[in-house]
Structure 1
């Protein structure tokens, strides 16, 4: 059984545009918006913060804990980034024992 615990969630719904498993599909009645996925990886003990570029807004996101427990995965207070944090739940549970954490921000063009 793997020690890997993680949650990856990304949901996008904007003006008839949906992102599903990396493919962009649009309805015939709505104009397609550009969708960009931004990835960030943090060193142990730091938040992984994926930020949407200028001209884009956050529509969703997710986080993944590599060999650790994901303890936070949420939008930032300003609504432009997705943050994730993980903690080691094994024998050494100190913050310095955290594994790398990855976050993804799903961004849609303004």
Structure 2
């Protein structure tokens, strides 16, 4: 057994969507998408057209204008709570998206 029991289709169902609401295209080259655990995906030579959305999928696949693949063999985003942080090529935070909430155990 190779240890990869999760099918690629399930990994690719896990995704983050980035929408460009302006009419102008944005060059994402050098931008990064990061989670709370410090996993970082770096955009390479990607242009996001105006008024369009791109999906960053976790699993393996062939990059297109609408879908990018991180080629990971394990899940990145925590279903219960996590934060996606999008930074530009100067390290400035462009957008953050959080979901869930930290559950504090009762003592």
Pair in the same fold by TM > 0.5:
no
TM-score of the superposition, structure 1-length normalised?
A: 0.29
Q: Which has the higher contact order (CA 8 A, sep 6+)?
A: 1
Q: Which has the higher strand share?
A: 1
TM-score of the superposition, structure 2-length normalised?
A: 0.30
